[in-house]
Structure 1
Amino acid sequence: MQQQRLPLALFLSLFGFACAGTARADAGSARLPDWRVSGFGTIGVAHAGEREADYTSSVMKANGTGATRSWSTDVDSRLGVQLDTTLARRWSAVLQVVSEQGLDNSYRPRIVWANVKYQATPELALRAGRIALPVFLIADYRKVGYAYPWLRPPVEGYNVMPVTSSDGVDATWRWSAGPVRNASQVFYGHSAVPLVDSLHLYARHGVGASNTSDWGALSVRVNVLRADITSNIGQDLFDAFDAFGPAGQALTARYAMDHKRMTLVNVGASYDPGTWFVMAEANRAISHSFLGATRSGYVSAGWRWNTLTPYVTWARVQAVGATLDPGLPTAALPPALAPMATALNAGLNSLLMRIPQQTSFAAGLRWDLRTNMALKVQVDRVTPHDGSTGTFINPTPRFVSERTSHVASVALDFVY
């Protein structure tokens, strides 16, 4: 709850400051702020052939389709409401609230955006508050299913950064170089990720830069993000490792998520002349912890024919760091301690096997029923690799990597 109150309090404070400035600027006039309410949503259902783990659209969800239930509406369903207001010629604000399944298995509404913008010049905009992280091609509308062609963004690429916003400041400068229009953005902020029970995840001192270049039908985006991440996930495991002296402490220093630097580099391009489109993104994520280091990306293409848009997508994520560690050397330990060390090593490798390694192929069809409503169907062929659980969650002991499963999904996207 505190994670919701802090950005709201900051938003209200900034909003009050902007309103005060507006009142002084507009003294003697009857001008009132311009308020606009809009929204979006997805009603979806998915079915997976896998029975020993859950397929879902984000690791930030409690479950999905597969082991927990054969059919699930939690994979893609969400509802969002957005309030925009123009306070004056230079001041504006936005508040966006989204309800979707979280790690606590509830649909408690969460504040996604809550920021105030000052348009310093026609080219330069400054914002403060809770701001969308600009790390993907569809970063500004990642939650709005109607705005992108697929039923869901490729999980192999977008699960690299499941956090979509941060609390801080940013600046965006729009400029042109001949026929190329550019938007360059720098930002700084912190994120507190809501987990379950007493678990927490913090990303502090996040700094990054993003540049989007548009040239006719071609759009290219390059993003870099760095942050210090801290979490008590696996804390009991690493405390037990520390008790084994220097060997265990070395494993804790290597894998515990305690003020570890995480870096994400993303490059994406889209070419969309209207009747067809092709999109591709590539990511490199490095985390000096049990989250590991990965390379991921996808290529997607589609063709628009009247109200129908068939499309295909190929995606992959693979580890580029350690996914297995021998752990403590049990042979040199006293017989009484060897079983405990063996169990700790198994626990560490259980964490490392969650580093996603997976390939998928998806085929889908979008049908634009109305100007604000689209029906989508999609079939995914998903294969985890190299002992990893891929992007599946809640695996049972019987889960088998390298086994291909199929996921069938239907969703209705709408905006209002």
Structure 2
Amino acid sequence: MTVEFSPLRTLTFGLTLLACAAAQAGDGDAPRWTFGGYGTLGLVHSNDSQSDFTANVLNPGNAGASHEWSATVDSRVGVQLGLNLDSRWSAVLQVLSERTLQSGYAPQVEWANVKYQATPDLSLRVGRIALPLFLAGDYRKAGYALPWVRPPVEVYGAIPISNSDGVDASYRWSAAGFNNVTQVFLGHTDILVAPHTHAVARAMTGLSNTTTSGALTVRASAMCTELTVGLARELFDGLRQFGPQGAALAARYDVDAKRADVVSLGASYDPGAWFLMGEVGRMNARSYLGDKTAAYVSGGYRFGDLTPYVAYAMSRSNTPTRIAGLDLRGLPPQLAGAGLLLNAGLNQMLETIPQQRSVTAGVRWDLRANYALKLQYDRYTPRDGSNGTFVNVQPGFQSGHSIGVVSASVDFVF
């Protein structure tokens, strides 16, 4: 059975976890509480009037066709409450407010879990937990911890979910001078993507290993899940009316209990004066969401409080983004007309599989303790008929045309 988490329900769930953990403390030492948070105030401008730029398909973006400047792409604030009961029991509750498709800036529970340190090397958690995908998966929304305004959208935008509800286990171990943390997890998530329409990932099962040695960090991750997205039901129901060929197309492209896989590998080398990092990932949803490979490489040099940086990123589809669709030969004109519309609708969905490359240049200024100002310019080029990572695409949108995006942000922690 899938458990649905509304903001109020998840907040109550998180507080209940804290209370249950506190009850485990017994009559020993007094619990130790911690409180902190992070945030980003950002502005984004896109020079394309036929689309909107967004870093995440769960955020409407609104920079471009909707507004010349938008503060909704990157702006967010999060607060975190922690409880350490003793050497074994602890709990955390993190609440985040950022722009979403359906709830505006309504606060959402990002993390809410209880941790049990079974041994000095083995820990277990239950609750809402960050997905350990990609190098910055644990802190992808905390802009202050990132060198850029936002993580490269080609990679991080491919997996817009950042947490799951379930359990995980982490084990620390060392070999040949390398320190490792191996994490296994099992969970699910349920996201409202349109009125009365959900995206549900069940049985999210994954494995992640993070290796560190001095300035080097390497993370490898893999995850599989059963994915259902309740969008475009009318289109797929219409295809099924065209007999076996339509049913085959619906079975191939509808996101209905489809197995989805993610694998990623990333490495970062940061000796202090400079950094170099890169990641590559493949995401296969076996549906109109596509099978895609995405990667980036980025580097920067620190001159005191200033860190100029550059990046190159790409995303490509491993499956066709345009198909012939229904064979309409010999059909009556009325049926052929309906089939043409269905074929066009299906191809329009396939065009949303990102095929894109981008170059980025920016600078970070750590203007004072716990505050960073960033200015960034991205040049995105959607390719091969794809919309790239852009949303709210208008009829005049031109794939192959480069789009300039200017971003400014102030990141802070407290």
TM-score bucket of the superposed structures, by smaller chain: over 0.9
The answer for the alignment partner of 1:39 in structure 2 is: 37
Could you state the TM-score of these two structures normalised by the residue count of structure 1? 0.97
Partner amino acid for 2:401?
A: R
The answer for the alignment partner of 1:335 in structure 2 is: 333
Checking the alignment, whether the CA contact within 8 Å between 1:62 and 1:104 is kept in structure 2 is: no
Q: Is 1:304 equivalent to 2:302 in the alignment?
A: yes
The answer for the alignment partner of 2:324 in structure 1 is: 326
The answer for the alignment partner of 2:358 in structure 1 is: 360
**Greater Cα offset, 317-326 or 258-267:** 317-326
Checking the alignment, whether the CA contact within 8 Å between 1:43 and 1:411 is kept in structure 2 is: yes
**Partner Cα distance (2:38, 2:168) in 1:** 25
Q: Is 1:200 equivalent to 2:198 in the alignment?
A: yes
**Greater Cα offset, 98-107 or 183-192:** 98-107
Checking the alignment, whether the CA contact within 8 Å between 2:57 and 2:391 is kept in structure 1 is: yes
**Partner Cα distance (2:6, 2:320) in 1:** 33
Residue 107 of structure 1 and its aligned partner are, at CA, apart by 0.6
Superposed, which structure 2 residues align to 1:62-81 within 5 Å?
Answer: 62-81=60-79
**Partner Cα distance (1:244, 1:194) in 2:** 30
The answer for the alignment partner of 1:153 in structure 2 is: 151
Residue 11 of structure 1 and its aligned partner are, at CA, apart by 3.2
Superposed, which structure 2 residues align to 1:404-415 within 5 Å?
Answer: 404-415=402-413
**Partner Cα distance (2:82, 2:330) in 1:** 65
**Partner Cα distance (1:231, 1:141) in 2:** 26
Q: Is 1:21 equivalent to 2:24 in the alignment?
A: yes
Superposed, which structure 2 residues align to 1:289-300 within 5 Å?
Answer: 289-300=287-298
The answer for the alignment partner of 1:49 in structure 2 is: 47
The answer for the alignment partner of 2:367 in structure 1 is: 369
**Partner Cα distance (2:136, 2:21) in 1:** 29
**Partner Cα distance (2:164, 2:359) in 1:** 31
Equivalent of 1:114, from 109, 112, 117?
112
Superposed, which structure 2 residues align to 1:250-289 within 5 Å?
Answer: 250-289=248-287
Checking the alignment, whether the CA contact within 8 Å between 2:204 and 2:224 is kept in structure 1 is: yes
Residue 4 of structure 1 and its aligned partner are, at CA, apart by 2.8
Checking the alignment, whether the CA contact within 8 Å between 2:182 and 2:207 is kept in structure 1 is: yes
**Partner Cα distance (2:8, 2:104) in 1:** 18
Report SS of the residue matched to 1:332. coil
Unaligned runs of at least 5 residues, structure 1:
none
**Partner Cα distance (1:355, 1:18) in 2:** 43
Residue 327 of structure 1 and its aligned partner are, at CA, apart by 1.0
Superposed, which structure 2 residues align to 1:97-108 within 5 Å?
Answer: 97-104=95-102, 106-108=104-106
Q: Deviations over 1:146-177 (max 9, x none)?
A: 00101111001101111000000000000111
Partner amino acid for 2:149?
A: L
Q: Deviations over 1:37-57 (max 9, x none)?
A: 101000010111111000111
The answer for the alignment partner of 2:229 in structure 1 is: 231
Checking the alignment, whether the CA contact within 8 Å between 1:296 and 1:316 is kept in structure 2 is: yes
Residue 262 of structure 1 and its aligned partner are, at CA, apart by 0.4
Report SS of the residue matched to 1:247. helix
Residue 113 of structure 1 and its aligned partner are, at CA, apart by 0.4
The answer for the alignment partner of 2:210 in structure 1 is: 212
The answer for the alignment partner of 2:58 in structure 1 is: 60
Equivalent of 2:6, from 3, 9, 13?
3
Checking the alignment, whether the CA contact within 8 Å between 2:17 and 2:112 is kept in structure 1 is: no
Report SS of the residue matched to 1:342. helix
Checking the alignment, whether the CA contact within 8 Å between 1:270 and 1:280 is kept in structure 2 is: yes
Report SS of the residue matched to 1:273. coil
Partner amino acid for 2:20?
A: F
Residue 326 of structure 1 and its aligned partner are, at CA, apart by 1.0
Q: Deviations over 1:329-369 (max 9, x none)?
A: 11132222100000000000010000001000000000001
Could you state the TM-score of these two structures normalised by the residue count of structure 2? 0.97
Partner amino acid for 2:89?
A: W
Residue 379 of structure 1 and its aligned partner are, at CA, apart by 0.4
Which consecutive segments of 4 or more residues in structure 1 shift more than 4 A?
Answer: none
Report SS of the residue matched to 1:336. helix
**Partner Cα distance (2:56, 2:180) in 1:** 31
The answer for the alignment partner of 2:315 in structure 1 is: 317
Q: Deviations over 1:267-314 (max 9, x none)?
A: 000000000000000001111110010000000000001000000000
Unaligned runs of at least 5 residues, structure 2:
none
Checking the alignment, whether the CA contact within 8 Å between 1:7 and 1:167 is kept in structure 2 is: no
Equivalent of 2:241, from 224, 240, 243?
243
Report SS of the residue matched to 1:330. coil
**Partner Cα distance (1:129, 1:14) in 2:** 8
Report SS of the residue matched to 2:392. coil
**Partner Cα distance (1:177, 1:255) in 2:** 44
Partner amino acid for 2:325?
A: G
CA RMSD of aligned residues (A): 1.2
